Amino acid sequence: MNRAATTLLPIALLVLLSGPAVARAQEPQAAPPANAAAAPATPDTPAAVSGAAGVPAQPAGGADPWAALGLPPAGAAGAGQAAGSDDAWGFDTEAKVETWADILRPQATDLALMSLFFVFALVSFFRKSQPLKYATLAMSVAYLGITKSTLISVTDIFRFVHWDFPEFKYSIAWYLIGTFTVVTTLLWGRLYCGRICAFGALTQLLDAVVPKKIRWEPSAKVERYAGYVKYVLLVAVVGYYAVTDHFTIYRYVEPFWMYTRQGSVLLWTMLGTLLVASVVVRNLYCRFLCPVGAMLGLISQVTTLFRIKRWSECKTCKICERTCEWGAIRGPQIVRSECVRCDDCERLYEDEQKCVHWIVVHRKAKNLRVGEKVGA
Ligand code: SF4
Ligand code: SF4
């Protein structure tokens, strides 16, 4: 199978299979998908961003702010409650006792496809295969982005402020992507950023097709200081939410709403500017601006159980530092908070023709063999 087929076949399968899930998503649900990007971005009018009395806009007829984002509230009510039932004798209530099968049935396709996607992403990661990596990125955009609008968002971080989480049984997909993200970050670092996030995947694919000559590469010093901006944004936006409860601020600090294809003129203008700037500065948002990337970077810096190996020659050789498109290699060190486990440097370490470590090893072995022949 050629490279294009390897890339396109799994994507086509995933999108085709996700058809029923999309159709079901349009039916009334007991609990909507638990992610902010799945929520339509309402027009950017003051009334939509803040309520008429200066409080967060609330969904019609409800006091739960998460519902306005399409997020399930903590302790969501069971799906079996038929609103407005005219069954005065309660026969229906007795007949509609909710079982786990009832709960899982509408989520099953979604969970199966998402699990398959995660397995595929892990296979591409462990095999260090570039075609499989690009297939994963394309699947992320097509499936998690365009089809499902499911991304880890700063609103998921907001949930920790009030310790307000969706009820597990109605939001298993939310817990699945959340657990996958946290566990892989603890083990390998920002694997979510390098493979799963549908916005990061889009900019990486953009990067693969944009000619290098129109790029602007910031100096190492600019890169280092600009990298701190995302941490400032993370603290600012979470602090702002903690003080004001205005969760709609998320739309102004992350572009993930774009997959809902619903935004105001201001939001589309901001997004257009960001994408144009990303053509010139590679992975601009991920490297310098993303609060979610900042949060995952902090976790990676402290944990990352399985780190990228370094040779002693890495102290002087600069080949992989120049290879890293994320500015994560600084001299002999890999800055774990910036590394997204893209595999580029790891593929290089395995290349016995390019990596200085292997060239030195082979040269030593050759000299040894020559020495043995001379000695004999
Ligand atoms: S830095 Fe943000 S936008 Fe980029 S891949 Fe990570 S989570 Fe996604
Ligand atoms: S090239 Fe290496 S250090 Fe840089 S982001 Fe990729 S895996 Fe991390």
Q: Would you say residue 55 lies in a domain?
A: no
Question: Do 246 and 277 sit in the same domain of this protein?
Answer: yes
Of all protein residues, whose CA lies closest to atom 5 belonging to ligand 2?
339
Final residue of a structural domain among 260, 287, 306: 306
Q: Is the CB of 200 under 6 A from ligand 1?
A: yes
Average the pLDDT over 37-48 and give the result. 41
Which of these ranges, 51-65, 73-87, 334-348, has the smallest mean pLDDT?
51-65
Burial environment of residue 189 by CB neighbours within 10 A (0 to 12, 13 to 18, 19 or more)? buried
Q: Pick the more confident residue, 177 or 349.
A: 177
Q: Give the residue carrying structure tokens 């998460």.
A: 66
pLDDT at position 192: 97
- What CA–CA distance (Å, rounded) separates 330 from 320? 10
Q: 331: which 2 tokens?
A: 């001299």
The percent of residues in the chain predicted with pLDDT above 70, rounded, is 74
Q: Is the CB of 198 under 6 A from ligand 1?
A: no
Q: Would you say residue 353 lies in a domain?
A: yes
Q: Are 137 and 11 in contact (CB under 8 A)?
A: no
**Chain centroid offset of residue 46 CA:** 29
Question: Do 338 and 299 sit in the same domain of this protein?
Answer: no
Give the Å distance between the CA of 290 and the centre of ligand 1.
6
68-93 pLDDT per residue, tens: 455 544 444 444 444 455 666 666 65
Which of 35-39, 48-52, 339-343, 350-354 is modeled with the greatest confidence? 339-343
Q: Would you say residue 112 lies in a domain?
A: yes
Question: Do 332 and 188 sit in the same domain of this protein?
Answer: no
Residue 33: C-alpha distances to residues 68, 77, 106, 115 (Å):
12, 15, 12, 16
Question: Do 314 and 300 sit in the same domain of this protein?
Answer: no
Question: Do 327 and 296 sit in the same domain of this protein?
Answer: no
Q: Would you say residue 46 lies in a domain?
A: no
Q: Domain range spanning residue 362?
A: 310-376
Question: Do 328 and 213 sit in the same domain of this protein?
Answer: no
Q: How confident is the model at residue 160 (pLDDT cuts 50, 70, 90)?
A: very high
Question: Do 248 and 319 sit in the same domain of this protein?
Answer: no
Residue type, 351: D
Q: Would you say residue 59 lies in a domain?
A: no
Q: Pick the more confident residue, 257 or 70.
A: 257
Q: Would you say residue 126 lies in a domain?
A: yes
Q: Is the CB of 196 under 6 A from ligand 1?
A: no
Angle subtended at Cα 275 by Cα 270 and Cα 277, rounded to the nearest 5 degrees:
95
Q: Is the CB of 198 under 6 A from ligand 2?
A: no
Q: Is the CB of 334 under 6 A from ligand 2?
A: yes
Final residue of a structural domain among 271, 306, 341: 306
Question: Do 112 and 174 sit in the same domain of this protein?
Answer: yes
222-250 pLDDT per residue, tens: 999 999 999 999 999 999 999 999 989 99
Q: Is the CB of 321 under 6 A from ligand 2?
A: no
Of all protein residues, whose CA lies closest to atom 4 belonging to ligand 2?
324
pLDDT at position 297: 97
For the chain, give the mean pLDDT: 80
To test the pocket of ligand 2, the residue of 308, 319, 349 to mutate (highest count of ligand atoms within 8 Å of its CB) is 308
Question: Do 293 and 332 sit in the same domain of this protein?
Answer: no
Q: Would you say residue 358 lies in a domain?
A: yes
Q: Are 132 and 10 in contact (CB under 8 A)?
A: no
Q: Would you say residue 13 lies in a domain?
A: yes
Final residue of a structural domain among 306, 332, 347: 306
Question: Do 276 and 336 sit in the same domain of this protein?
Answer: no
Q: 273: which 2 tokens?
A: 């500017």
The percent of residues in the chain predicted with pLDDT above 90, rounded, is 53
Question: Do 99 and 122 sit in the same domain of this protein?
Answer: yes
Of all protein residues, whose CA lies closest to atom 6 belonging to ligand 1?
193
Number of domains forming the structure of the chain: 2
Residue 4 DSSP code:
H
For residue 334, the cross-strand partners are 329
Question: Do 349 and 212 sit in the same domain of this protein?
Answer: no
- What CA–CA distance (Å, rounded) separates 292 from 271? 17
Q: 106: which 2 tokens?
A: 């509408």
Q: Is the CB of 191 under 6 A from ligand 2?
A: no
